């Protein structure tokens, strides 16, 4: 995917436009739109991922439903205040978009979803097992970007990576490679009603722990804070 670290947050996805573009917001006179992209997995499952794109990148594009596009950019996060609580929202922020020809598309679909992030653990990892005994560890990784901003990206590791990630501490520096996936789940409201929601996260395929560079939380005694896991 990426041989040299040239950025802390790089994503490349290719897929089919599955929704009409909608106006999102304007910043410094530049308009931004959102749409959904259907990105296939090798298992034939399709992840439906949100994309945010500048009007200046699509001047000569219609972004019609059913068209295949290649998008390069970053996975970004922001907080949305919904029903008296903050909710972390993720989107693919496009820096470039391209309509591949048939030959290009055939090659691109061999690896349609790749992401690299370089950041720091910002929440104690959560280790769990599925009913079928599969090991999983959930991570939240803070990735810095210019102007003193950060993106907070949920990640999920599996198997031996899950066992390793369970022991990571807040402040540990990691580099992750994988893909962005969508996952539907039921959210139970205080009224007892259950509503369908979609979560987005990075499924980790490769992880590198930067041992000599961390920003770990310190206790009152000046030592690294250790956490106990269930």
Check the CA dihedral 2-106-97-43 and report its sign: negative
The answer to whether the CB of 169 falls within 8 A of the CB of 123 is no
Tens-digit pLDDT string for the chain (230 aa) = 444 445 899 999 999 999 999 999 999 999 999 999 999 998 889 999 999 999 999 998 989 999 999 999 999 999 887 666 778 899 999 999 999 999 999 999 999 999 999 999 999 999 999 888 999 999 999 999 988 899 999 999 999 999 999 999 999 999 999 999 998 887 777 777 888 888 999 999 999 999 877 666 555 545 544 433 22
Is 195 contained in some domain?
Answer: yes
- Nearest in space to 109 (alpha carbons), one of 16, 208, 212, 221: 16
Residue of 120, 148, 126, 151 lying closest to 138 (CA atoms): 126
What SS3 state is found at 197? strand
pLDDT of residue 154: 97
158 belongs to a structural domain:
yes
Q: How many domains does the chain have?
A: 1
- H helices of the chain, in order, are 102-108, 159-165
Residue 224 lies in a domain: no
d(CA 16, CA 38): 5
Three-state DSSP class for 4? coil
3-state secondary structure 7-22: CCEEEEEEEEECCCCE
Give a yes or no: residue 222 inside a domain. no
Q: Considering the entire predicted model, what is its pTM? A: 0.86
- Which pLDDT value is given to residue 146? 85
Q: For 95, phi and psi rounded to 5 degrees?
A: -105, -20
Q: If we measure between CA atoms, which residue out of 77, 126, 68, 78 comes closest to residue 99?
A: 68
Pairing state between β 22-27 and 194-214: unpaired
**How far apart are the C-alpha atoms of 135 and 165, rounded to whole Å?**
11
d(C-alpha 171, C-alpha 148), whole Å: 17
Structure tokens at 75: 């996975």
Which residue range is the domain that position 100 belongs to? 9-214
C-alpha distance from residue 185 to each of 15, 85, 164 (Å): 23, 19, 26
β 85-98/46-54 pair status: parallel
Q: Does 227 fall in a domain? A: no
The whole-number pLDDT of residue 225 equals 44
Q: What is the CATH number of the domain that holds 37?
A: 2.40.50.140
Position 109 in a domain: yes
Which residues, in sequence order, are CB contacts of 79 under 8 Å at separation 6+? 86, 87, 88, 89
Residue 72 resides in a domain: yes
- pLDDT computed for residue 3 by the predictor: 43
Q: What is the predicted pLDDT for the residue at 83?
A: 65
Asked, for residue 2, whether it belongs to a domain, the answer is no
């Amino acid at each position: 995917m990426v041989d040299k670290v040239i950025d802390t947050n790089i994503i490349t996805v290719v897929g089919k436009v599955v929704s009409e573009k909608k106006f999102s917001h304007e910043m410094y006179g530049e308009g931004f739109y959102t749409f959904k992209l259907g990105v296939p997995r090798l298992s034939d499952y399709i992840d439906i991922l949100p994309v945010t794109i500048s009007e200046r990148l699509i001047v000569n594009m219609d972004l019609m439903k059913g068209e295949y596009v290649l998008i390069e950019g970053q996975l970004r996060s922001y907080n949305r205040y919904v029903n008296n609580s903050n909710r972390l929202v993720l989107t693919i922020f496009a820096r470039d978009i391209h309509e591949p020809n048939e030959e290009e598309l055939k090659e691109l679909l061999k690896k349609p979803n790749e992401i690299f992030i370089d950041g720091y653990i910002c929440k104690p990892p959560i280790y769990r097992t599925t009913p079928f005994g599969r090991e999983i560890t959930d991570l939240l990784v803070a990735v810095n970007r210019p102007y003193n901003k950060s993106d907070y990206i949920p990640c999920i590791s599996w198997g031996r990576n899950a066992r390793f990630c369970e022991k990571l501490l807040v402040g540990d520096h990691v580099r992750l490679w994988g893909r962005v996936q969508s996952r539907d789940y039921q959210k139970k409201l205080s009224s007892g009603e259950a509503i369908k929601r979609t979560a987005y996260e990075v499924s980790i395929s490769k992880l590198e722990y930067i041992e000599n560079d961390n920003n770990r939380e310190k206790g009152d005694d000046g030592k690294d804070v250790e956490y106990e896991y269930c």
